[in-house]
């Protein structure tokens, strides 16, 4: 950043202080650039055990770091819908710390991948939040994150659908990326931002398993209630 740009940024910060995306309070130097300390400290760890039901899901296990409520819900909404891309750094740190405390998540994993977005939606948002989380996590553990999947259908929002309707909504929406390397026999860690019913992770895992993956573990930033 040039000196002139830095000066302009400083003037803007004085006139329009950067606010916490969750509570809206102006951020101080003690808060850091992402969110205020009060909101970050109020993020609830996920107390639930990992999801693991081979009769229901195509993945072997799904971990979630936090609960999707309170400040975390507000921060994720700001991240996705208000394009607060800087929050990816905070979220990647939360995920990295979560994985560091649970070696079984990343043990013997061959590659990280992420839930893709439809190209039109990605252009609208300007980034794929799940990809940013995956690449931040991969960097923390000196791994690589690969785009193994593509989303070929622009589906309806999953927010207001039942699990059965979510499965129908996503059926056939994903396929393997033609440019992806072979994954036969590979153990994969699939990253997304929020798990609610598990329908999105399940459909992505089904495609990966059909392509030959030996195991798919899932990791999300938050778990919906």
Strands ordered across the beta sheet of 187-195 = 61-67, 215-223, 187-195, 111-114
When pLDDT is cut at 50, 70 and 90, the band that residue 180 belongs to is: very high
User: Quick one: residue 24, left, alpha or beta (phi over 0 = left, psi -120 to 50 = alpha)?
Assistant: left
DSSP per-residue string spanning 124-152:
HHSS-HHHHHHHHHHHHTT--B---EEE-
Residue 192 to residue 167: CA distance in whole angstroms: 17
User: Mean pLDDT of all residues in the chain?
Assistant: 90
Question: Domain boundaries in the chain?
Answer: 1-38, 43-223
Element (H, E) at 221: strand 215-223
More confident residue, 222 or 13: 222
Please check the confidence at residue 14 and state whether its pLDDT lies above 50: no
Please check the confidence at residue 208 and state whether its pLDDT lies above 80: yes
- pLDDT at residue 165 in the model: 64
Please check the confidence at residue 12 and state whether its pLDDT lies above 60: no
Please check the confidence at residue 162 and state whether its pLDDT lies above 70: no
Helices marked H in 50-118 — which ranges?
A: 70-81, 87-100, 103-106
In this prediction, residues 108-123 reach a mean pLDDT of 96
Please check the confidence at residue 32 and state whether its pLDDT lies above 90: no
When pLDDT is cut at 50, 70 and 90, the band that residue 72 belongs to is: very high
Instruction: Write the CATH number of the domain with boundaries 43-223.
Output: 3.40.50
Per-residue pLDDT of 73-83, as tens digits, reads 999 999 999 99
> How far apart, in Å, are the Cα atoms of 68 and each of 17, 129, 189?
27, 15, 21
Residue 189 to residue 11: CA distance in whole angstroms: 43
Please check the confidence at residue 168 and state whether its pLDDT lies above 50: yes
Please check the confidence at residue 110 and state whether its pLDDT lies above 60: yes
In this prediction, residues 147-175 reach a mean pLDDT of 77
Write the CB contacts of 213 (distance below 8 Å, at least 6 apart in sequence): 183, 184, 185, 186, 187, 188
């Amino acid at each position: 950043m040039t000196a002139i740009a830095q000066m302009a940024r400083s003037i803007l910060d004085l006139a329009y202080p950067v606010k916490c995306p969750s509570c809206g309070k102006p951020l101080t130097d003690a808060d850091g650039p992402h969110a205020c300390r009060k909101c970050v400290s109020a993020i609830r760890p996920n107390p639930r055990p990992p999801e693991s039901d081979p009769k229901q899901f195509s993945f072997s296990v799904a971990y979630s770091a936090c609960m999707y409520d309170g400040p975390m819900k507000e921060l994720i909404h700001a991240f996705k819908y208000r394009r607060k891309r800087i929050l990816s750094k905070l979220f990647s740190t939360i995920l990295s710390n979560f994985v560091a405390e649970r070696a079984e998540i990343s043990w013997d994993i061959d590659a990280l991948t992420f839930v893709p977005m439809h190209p039109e939606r990605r252009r609208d948002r300007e980034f794929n939040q799940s990809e940013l989380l995956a690449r931040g996590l991969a960097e923390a553990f000196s791994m690589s994150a690969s785009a193994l999947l593509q989303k070929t259908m622009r589906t309806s929002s999953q927010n207001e659908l039942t699990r059965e309707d979510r499965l129908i909504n996503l059926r056939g929406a994903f396929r393997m990326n033609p440019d992806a390397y072979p994954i036969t026999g590979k153990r994969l860690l699939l990253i997304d931002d929020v798990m609610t019913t598990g329908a999105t992770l399940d459909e992505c895992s089904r495609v990966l398993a059909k392509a030959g993956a030996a195991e798919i573990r899932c990791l999300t930033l938050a778990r919906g209630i």
